[in-house]
Amino acid sequence: MEVFVDDNKVDAAFASEGTVEDALRRVQSDLCPPGRMVIRLSCNGEDIRSDAMAATLRKPASSFERLDVFTDVKGALVAEAMIQAATSLEQTEAECGRVAELLTEGKIAEGVDTLGECIGAWQQIHEAVAKSIQMLELDVEKTTFNDERLIEMISRPKEALLQIKDALRSQDHVLLADVLQYELNDVTGQWHAIIAELRKRAEDLSASSA
């Protein structure tokens, strides 16, 4: 079998035994310089999609004639993820304002449906932030932004989401509208601050890895 990393052929001896996952771990540990990570895999010329990745990783590496592994700079990946997260957050802010208006107008069903979409977007933003913190190897207990610990900044959006879920569960639409109109502004401000800081650190890391 043959193994290529970023279109460059490498010695495939390490892939003769073990699974595809074992081979990727060796590529990451032995062939990726500091600051780079494996981001994509192709087997026999076919890109492996996320829904098929787990099954592919369990297969023997020798069952494929060719593995193509692609890497990228961690900082560049995090920076792009934070750009997308910031855009999603801005869009969700506007939608939350519309939800509050719908609730005050008595259009409960429409407002709750739209809010469900917003919660889904917040969860995706939270996942992107959590993964970015992990990729940047930041200690949430020790890392501070503007003299405030990262773990405390992250907890505020979570608290607001719990308030929203409690209001939905109790069908208290007046409280729900108040949370969306007033308290959520401070929370989204925190999210914007976190995202901006992570993007800055990612871009600094990318520049130093260039």
pLDDT of residue 6: 92
Is the predicted pLDDT of residue 194 greater than 60, yes or no? yes
pLDDT of residue 122: 87
Cβ atoms < 10 Å from Cβ of 122: 23
Backbone region of residue 171 per phi and psi (left: phi > 0; alpha: psi in -120 to 50; beta: other values): left
Question: Which tokens hold the place of 193?
Answer: 């601050």
Question: Which tokens hold the place of 200?
Answer: 């800055």
The pTM assigned to this predicted structure is: 0.72
> What is the distance between the alpha carbons of residues 181 and 171, in angstroms, rounded to a whole number?
17
pLDDT single digits (tens) 109-167: 888 888 888 888 888 998 899 899 988 888 888 888 878 888 888 777 777 778 888 88
Contacts 24+ apart (CB under 8 A), 31-36: 31/5, 32/71, 33/209, 34/209, 35/73, 35/74, 35/75, 35/205, 35/206, 35/208, 35/209, 36/71, 36/72, 36/73, 36/74, 36/209
Cβ atoms < 10 Å from Cβ of 204: 13
More confident residue, 210 or 29: 29
Q: Which of 191, 87, 184, 206 is nearest to 130 (CA)?
A: 191
pLDDT of residue 209: 64
Residues 203, 195: contact at Cβ < 8 Å? no
Region of poorest pLDDT, from 101-115, 126-140, 196-210 = 196-210
Is the predicted pLDDT of residue 82 greater than 90, yes or no? yes
Residues 115, 168: contact at Cβ < 8 Å? yes
Is the predicted pLDDT of residue 210 greater than 60, yes or no? no
User: Which domains does the chain carry?
Assistant: 2-73 (3.10.20), 76-209 (1.20.120)
pLDDT of residue 167: 85
> What is the distance between the alpha carbons of residues 183 and 181, in angstroms, rounded to a whole number?
7
Residue 210 neighbours by CB under 8 Å, 6+ apart: 73
Is the predicted pLDDT of residue 5 greater than 90, yes or no? yes
pLDDT single digits (tens) 25-68: 999 999 988 778 898 999 999 999 988 999 999 999 999 999 99
Mean of the per-residue pLDDT values of the chain: 88
